[in-house]
Amino acid sequence: MTSMKSVMPDRSFDFIYLASQSPRRRQLLEQLGVRYELLLPGADEDAESLEAALPGEWPEAYVARVTEAKLDAALTRLAQRGLPAAPVLCSDTTVAVDHLILGKPVDAEDAFRTLSLLSGRRHRVITAVVVGASSGSGSPRSAALNVSEVDFAPVSAETLRRYVASGEPFGKAGSYAIQSQAAAWISQISGSYSGIMGLPLFETAQLLQQWGWKI
């Protein structure tokens, strides 16, 4: 499932800034053949605070809000550093069971609890993408939200403990990566494989085309 919104930019660009530390998102952008430069938070920025959920916030609304907030922070960063103008791409992913947001684990026990919850059931992987820039007309931006569904087979506690001990869950929404050994537990996917990785390529290509890209 995908939703999109856009405000058309007033010019096209030959590269973008990627405001993400995820190596998976870099890999996926490279798969599209997109030229990019990294625009990462400085040591003085509290990037993690942007990912705090609001009380009662639904997962889809949470991901969309956080991604927009990341773009606002990145555009401020771009202006402060005096870098050449270009669009900025931000993305955020979370895993959800019903209304419950399953973000990055804080420790090994948190990772184990999350994976135990996912074992033997279906969950949603929600990824938002937004491309924006500062201009004389304000802050034009284009956004998309991809929702995929993933079915996990039942997984033993021993197997989950080994996975947690490998270190793979850390830094991952839902405590797993689809391109890791956790793929052996996935019985069915409905949606976007690249979206589950962290950047839905179809939606990203659609957004970039609005900024003059030839995909």
Active site (catalytic) residues: 92
CA distances from 132 to 8, 103, 118 (A): 10, 25, 34
Among 15, 12, 41, 11, CA closest to 30: 15
Residue 115 burial (C-beta neighbours within 10 Å; 0-12, 13-18, 19+): buried
Residue 170 burial (C-beta neighbours within 10 Å; 0-12, 13-18, 19+): middle
